[in-house]
């Protein structure tokens, strides 16, 4: 493309705007103190660039906003459902399309129809809610990434691939306990690491050999398809849409959080080919979500999702999104900022432990960096480290620390512009200059479960 060598530009212009919370350093200092040094407790209004998550935070297009008005709110047999069903069938090839209010509802319904206590669900790696839903059924969620892919600094193209040797071993030794195999595209761990088509094809063959259905957790199917096009030998000549269509057809079904590549603020999908399984799922759906032609959604949500699923495979959009993430990564890399490599589709992960090596894990270096980014420039990232995954010592000593103290900067879709990215880079660079001075933190109050969301902390002086 002609413009490749020039400044990255958004392949859209702006029709509606939302003012940002411009604050002073003094105001941010007070806001963070009031939030007990936990960015989850900040009021979003006090955040300038919010990179907490890419889930449900994207901007809809003019066509999606227009589609909302077409929503058919009929309880049963809504026209909007049939429109969505047609779009999803064409994209995925799946027979039964079941709308849900979020991805986790699709997971819960699928697993309640397929799992029993003692069963095993192998995956490349389970997303948090997927793992929780597997375990809720009394089954075991097993992650099977290649060993090399677990090194955060190994610059490999497909760190999301499922380890076929490990998968075969489980199927041979404990196959009778495995009702299905899951592959998450892209793999969230490490910021959206893609799964190759070669790996998916081989996983499908293996599943066929053992008579197991292959399911996708397909929240970021478009980003995975784009990264296949960019990175996989022999796939560069195909469109992202062609790759996505083949990807879905390798599976017997999928769960999908529409808050990612569905380009909507709420929604989810469950797709299955097996008619008997679909019936079981619909029965459960009626109990927990709603009638099968709306799931947990309004008719207007179904319309916006149908439109979003067609827009997300636009290659100008996908190229711009990935170029933007890559741009942030490359600029920070040039400063020497330690990060997980390579950058994936939707996030950049800074290694907080290596960024602030003077802070031991039990002083939460990831949180120290997250808070410094907020004070410096109003940027909100999220700690994915000892505060989130570490364990308090029951005897009152230091926490058992997480292997890595990461800070995830996650990019909402079509929401921030290239100048916001430049600003973000400046903020990280300024904090990098004074990294020796970042204070550590101690927890003042915490809960037993999911403490990262609610913990109260204070800086160690
Ligand atoms: C977000 C996400 C989910 C859960 O979806 P929700 O819509 O948040 O319930 C499941 N899997 C992956 C890979 C996700 O990114």
The per-residue pLDDT for range 263-320, each reduced to its tens digit, is: 999 999 999 999 999 999 999 999 999 999 999 999 999 999 999 999 999 999 999 9
- Ligand 1: does its nearest atom lie under 6 Å from the Cβ of 100? no
pLDDT of residue 393: 86
Work out whether the CA dihedral 376, 378, 382, 386 comes out positive or negative: positive
Summarize pLDDT for 311-367 with one digit per residue, the tens: 999 999 999 999 999 999 999 999 999 999 999 889 999 999 999 999 999 999 999
**Helix or strand run (H / E) with residue 243:** helix 240-249
Q: CB-based contacts of 217: which residues, under 8 Å, 6+ apart?
A: 103, 107, 123, 126, 127, 130, 182, 183, 184, 185, 254, 255, 256
pTM of the shown model:
0.95
Summarize pLDDT for 383-416 with one digit per residue, the tens: 999 999 888 888 888 999 988 999 999 999 999 9
Residue 89 CA to ligand 1 centre (angstroms): 21
Residue-wise burial string across 304-320, b where 16 or more C-beta atoms lie within 10 A, e elsewhere: bbbbbbebbbbbebbbb
- Ligand 1: does its nearest atom lie under 6 Å from the Cβ of 53? no
- Ligand 1: does its nearest atom lie under 6 Å from the Cβ of 189? no
Counts of helices then strands in the chain (DSSP H, E): 18, 14
- Ligand 1: does its nearest atom lie under 6 Å from the Cβ of 199? no
- Ligand 1: does its nearest atom lie under 6 Å from the Cβ of 187? no
CA of 104, closest atom in ligand 1: 9
190: pLDDT strictly greater than 90: no
Summarize pLDDT for 31-89 with one digit per residue, the tens: 999 999 999 999 999 999 999 999 999 999 999 999 999 999 999 999 999 999 999 99
Q: CB-based contacts of 416: which residues, under 8 Å, 6+ apart?
A: 49
pLDDT of residue 1: 47
pLDDT of residue 73: 97
Tell me the C-alpha distance between 216 and 226, whole Å.
17
pLDDT of residue 390: 87
- Ligand 1: does its nearest atom lie under 6 Å from the Cβ of 184? yes
**Helix or strand run (H / E) with residue 325:** helix 315-335
- The single residue listed with the structure tokens 């047609």 is 86
Counting residues of the chain whose pLDDT is more than 70, the rounded percentage is: 99
Beta strand pairing status for 379-380 and 49-50? parallel
Summarize pLDDT for 222-247 with one digit per residue, the tens: 999 999 999 999 999 999 999 999 99
Summarize pLDDT for 143-180 with one digit per residue, the tens: 999 999 988 889 999 999 999 999 999 999 999 999 99
CA of 102, closest atom in ligand 1: 7
Q: Atom 8 of ligand 1 has which residue's CA nearest to it?
A: 103
Residue 336 CA to ligand 1 centre (angstroms): 32
CB atoms within 10 A of CB 259: 23
CA of 187, closest atom in ligand 1: 13
- Ligand 1: does its nearest atom lie under 6 Å from the Cβ of 104? yes
Q: Where are the alpha helices (DSSP H) in 392-458?
A: 418-433, 451-454
CA of 55, closest atom in ligand 1: 1
Residue 371 CA to ligand 1 centre (angstroms): 26
- Ligand 1: does its nearest atom lie under 6 Å from the Cβ of 410? no
pLDDT of residue 321: 96
pLDDT of residue 4: 60
**Domains, the chain, ordered by start:** 25-54+314-460 (3.90.1150.10), 62-311 (3.40.640.10)
What are residue 214's phi and psi, to 5 degrees?
-100, 125
Q: Residue 171 is encoded by which pair of tokens?
A: 């199927």
């Amino acid at each position: 493309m002609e413009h490749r060598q020039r400044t990255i530009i958004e392949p859209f212009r702006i029709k509606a705007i939302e003012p940002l919370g411009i604050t002073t350093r003094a105001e941010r200092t007070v806001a963070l103190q009031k939030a007990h040094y936990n960015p989850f407790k900040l009021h979003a209004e006090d955040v300038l660039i919010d990179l907490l998550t890419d889930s449900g935070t994207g901007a809809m297009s003019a066509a999606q906003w227009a589609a909302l008005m077409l929503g058919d709110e009929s309880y049963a047999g809504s026209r909007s459902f049939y429109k969505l069903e047609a779009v999803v069938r064409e994209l995925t090839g799946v027979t039964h399309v079941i709308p849900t209010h979020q991805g986790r509802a699709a997971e819960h319904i699928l697993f309640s129809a397929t799992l029993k206590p003692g069963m095993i669900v192998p995956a490349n790696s389970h997303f948090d809610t997927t793992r929780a839903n597997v375990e809720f059924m009394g089954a075991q969620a097993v992650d099977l990434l290649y060993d090399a892919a677990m090194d955060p600094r190994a610059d490999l193209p497909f760190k999301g691939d499922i380890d076929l040797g490990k998968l075969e071993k489980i199927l041979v030794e404990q196959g009778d306990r495995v009702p299905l195999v899951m592959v998450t595209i892209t793999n969230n761990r490490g910021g959206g690491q893609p799964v190759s088509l070669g790996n998916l094809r081989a996983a499908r063959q293996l599943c066929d050999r053992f008579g197991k259905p292959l399911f996708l957790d397909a929240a970021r199917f478009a980003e995975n398809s784009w990264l296949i096009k960019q990175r996989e030998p022999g796939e560069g000549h195909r469109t992202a849409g062609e790759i996505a269509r083949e990807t879905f057809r390798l599976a017997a079904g999928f769960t999908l959080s529409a808050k990612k590549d569905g380009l909507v603020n709420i929604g989810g999908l469950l797709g299955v080919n097996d008619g008997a399984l679909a019936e079981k799922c619909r029965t459960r759906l009626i109990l927990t979500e709603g009638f099968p032609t709306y799931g947990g959604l309004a008719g207007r949500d179904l319309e916006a999702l149908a439109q979003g699923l067609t827009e997300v495979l636009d290659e100008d959009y996908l190229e711009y999104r990935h170029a933007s993430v890559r741009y942030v990564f490359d600029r920070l890399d040039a400063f020497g900022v330690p990060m997980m490599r390579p950058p994936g589709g939707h996030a950049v992960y800074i290694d907080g432990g290596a960024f602030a090596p003077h802070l031991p894990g039990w002083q939460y270096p990831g949180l120290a960096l997250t808070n410094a980014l907020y004070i410096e420039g109003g940027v909100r990232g999220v700690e994915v480290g000892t505060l989130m995954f570490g364990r308090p010592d029951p005897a009152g000593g230091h926490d058992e620390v997480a292997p890595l103290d990461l800070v995830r900067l996650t990019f909402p879709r079509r929401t921030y512009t290239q100048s916001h990215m430049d600003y973000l880079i400046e903020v990280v660079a300024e904090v990098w200059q004074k990294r020796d001075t970042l204070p550590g933190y101690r927890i003042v109050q915490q809960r037993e479960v999911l403490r990262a969301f609610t913990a109260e902390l204070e800086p160690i002086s």
